[in-house]
Amino acid sequence: MSKKYKLYQVDAFTEHRFRGNPAGVVLNADGLAEQEMQEIARELNNSETAFVFSSDSKEYDVEIRFFTPVQEVPMCGHATIASHYVRSLEQNLPEGRLMQKIGAGILPVDIIRNGDSIEIAMTQGIFRLGMPLQANQIQELCAALRLSPEQLREGWPIQEASTGFGKIMVPIQSEETLDHLEPDWDALCRFSGKVGCNGFYVFAPAPKDADYKYCGRMFAPISGVREDPVTGNANGPLGGYLAHYGFLSPTDGVLQFSVLQGKAMGRPGIISVKVEMENNEPREIQISGKAVIVFSAQLEV
């Protein structure tokens, strides 16, 4: 016998439809098998679709699983924002903190209400840095991204940074270069396999008069998504990377900044990053943003 599920298409890190990062959200996913979730994610063809399950534990309030069109992933920033935005609306949840179980662990999510406005803040996992890439690896990565080594930021390491699902940080000099990147997708997939990382976050400083600090683009073709519009799993680690190396200075032990991502795709969105420091190292990293429902539907499986 078939069962009916509530399906939402949500744009995260924006308040405007058809901007930011689209995510599918299946609100009452209890009863769905893994193969069914993968098929639904493939059908929707968003970078990620979130499946929300009820909790059977006192340790967490809700469980969420995330699927790209081709595989399950342990965490997803924009789909987390989308899921809890929908839950806040549909269940009229109050402002406050809840705990979610995801593949990366049990982590806090904060609902922030300001009148009719809802913002969702996601605390990410423990910050970790991989080893900086070697010169020959950087040369191969630049070729795959179709970057010249001279366009990189001198003295800024290229390495994997993670808060649960790592991306390789690639700092470059200008937003103009960023906007015109056209990677070699096959070469980038091959390089992903060699270094064991699915995503490459290329970022540059914002223009002096901008209301954001950095701009970025995230490429992950090996995951079935060539480019992701606005990426929580990249910008959270970016915050840790900047804090670890002292490229941005915290105020009273807290580093806060915003990033514009998705402009080159015609889907601009703003993501806020907050890094709490302890002994000059990142202790806790949060990403936050707003969202808007594009449409809802009834799914019968």
Residues marked active site are found at 48
Measured CA to CA, the distance from residue 69 to residue 232 in angstroms comes to 18
- 90 vs 232: CA distance, rounded Å: 23
Neighbours of 88 (CB within 10 A): 19
What value does the CA radius of gyration of the chain take, rounded to a whole number of Å? 19
Helix, strand and coil percent figures for the chain, each rounded to 5: 25, 40, 35
What contacts 155, CB < 8 A, 6 or more positions away? none
Distance, in Å, from the CA atom of 44 to the CA atom of 66, rounded to the nearest integer, reads: 13
Question: Six-digit token pair at 56?
Answer: 């059977």
Rounded-to-integer distance, Cα 229 and Cα 214, Å: 14
Each as own residue / partner, the long-range contacts of residues 248-255 (CB below 8 Å, 24 or more positions apart, any chain) are 248/213, 250/275, 250/277, 253/277, 253/278
Quick check: helix, strand or coil at residue 47?
coil
Tell me the C-alpha distance between 10 and 20, whole Å: 9
Phi and psi dihedrals of 242, rounded to 5? -65, -40
206 backbone dihedrals φ, ψ, rounded to 5°: -75, 160
